[in-house]
Structure 1
Amino acid sequence: MRLMITTPTAIIVDEANVSALRAEDDSGSFGLLQGHADLLTALKISIVSWRGADDRMHYCAVRRGVLSVTGGDEIAIATREAIVGDDLDRLEGIVLDEFHQRLEAERTARTESLELQMKAIRQIVRYLRPDKPGARDADPRNVDL
């Protein structure tokens, strides 16, 4: 099988003669062998492992992504971020923790941004409907977000 792992800016892995691959989605860990049925699934933050042409195991930490199998012999993974390594312990211990921390930071930033947007919308509505209780004078220079 051919395996290709890509990020928005680079091709991380392009390897032919992959004999087996393991990945993880929301339903759990799964394996792929030559001749697998076509598949499309969303990956979790996890380690993708595969046996290469050299009969050694190779590993890549992925920060979520989409895995597709086409024609039973082509596996493509598109992910936001990927780090290849032959040291499974390092990838699991350091890289996955970092990916999870970044994900949590992004969630926090999105939440704070949405809260700020909602405050701005509420303020606009108050000025557009000055007849409602809690409205201020219609002078937009007095806005306090």
Structure 2
Amino acid sequence: MDPSTIQDRQYQLPVTGNCMEPFFPEGGTAYMTQDVPPSIGDHVCAYFREGIFRDGRIKHCILSEMSDDTVCLSQLNPPTTVTVRRSNILAMHKIYAIKVPDGCFFGLPEGSTKTSRWPEDERVASVTTTITPMSFDR
């Protein structure tokens, strides 16, 4: 998918793979916005130039660090952080909600280390993650 062809300011994509479980279970749907710039700690959908990753051009991940030249992105399974040159990223959009396969929605508040389930459900109040960094240049 070429991010320049996305016409809607808010859009959704299916979740494939398990690298971001428990936040993004396979079969779920991630909801992105182009209207709010991502901040450190946010879940993002990053679109990469062809050939940066063998397993695709789109990654759902956590924005862990940002500099003028590089961006550090983390995944949960296995816990990994990669450093990517900004020139290799075509676009990065903030993920603001996830719909899990059972149909429930989770909002991803600022910082994205916790989720809130809609509608309120006492069984799922919040989830917290820990990232183990392992950086390398791409």
TM-score (norm 1): 0.26
Which has the larger helix fraction? 1
**Larger radius of gyration, structure 1 or 2?**
1
TM-score (norm 2): 0.27
